[in-house]
Amino acid sequence: ETGVTQTPRHLVMGMTNKKSLKCEQHLGHNAMYWYKQSAKKPLELMFVYSLEERVENNSVPSRFSPECPNSSHLFLHLHTLQPEDSALYLCASSQSRGLAGGREQYFGPGTRLTVT
């Protein structure tokens, strides 16, 4: 596997379910990001982890819970979601220190989430 991978690629869940999205990066980066892309809205940054520490949390509802156990893996735990949470969830990674690479972000293919 190369680059940034995400599983599952598609997920349908009810409002009372609990599920998790997984992201793995094979680029040797140490910062990882979660984004939400809704129809007809710009990408919204949700969370950022740098060196396994959460450094950005953009007022995301608590029904979304991120976890970063190491610099290669990032999870987004979902529970009691609402239909308006249906979207494409994208993971990205970058370097986090210095100017090398200028924190260029590389994205995974995304998970298409549908909440019923």
Partner 1 sequence: KQEVTQIPAALSVPEGENLVLNCSFTDSAIYNLQWFRQDPGKGLTSLLLIQSSQREQTSGRLNASLDKSSGRSTLYIAASQPGDSATYLCAVIVGGFKTIFGAGTRLFVKA
Binding site for partner 1 (CB under 8 A): 4, 6, 31, 33, 41-45, 48, 50, 55-56, 58, 88, 90, 92, 94, 96, 99, 101-110, 112
3-state secondary structure 13-37: ECCCCEEEEEEEECCCCCEEEEEEE
Starting at the earlier edge strand, list the strands of the sheet with 18-25. Answer: 4-7, 18-25, 73-79, 64-70
Which lies closer to partner 1 via its Cβ, residue 16 or residue 98?
98
Which lies closer to partner 1 via its Cβ, residue 18 or residue 53?
53
Residues 6+ apart with CB under 8 A from 9: 109, 110, 111, 112
Amino acid of residue 50: S
Distance CA 115, CA 84 (A): 8
> Nearest approach, Cβ of 80 to partner 1 (angstroms)?
27
Which lies closer to partner 1 via its Cβ, residue 17 or residue 67?
67
> Nearest approach, Cβ of 62 to partner 1 (angstroms)?
20
Which lies closer to partner 1 via its Cβ, residue 73 or residue 112?
112
> Nearest approach, Cβ of 45 to partner 1 (angstroms)?
5
Amino acid of residue 45: L
> Nearest approach, Cβ of 16 to partner 1 (angstroms)?
27
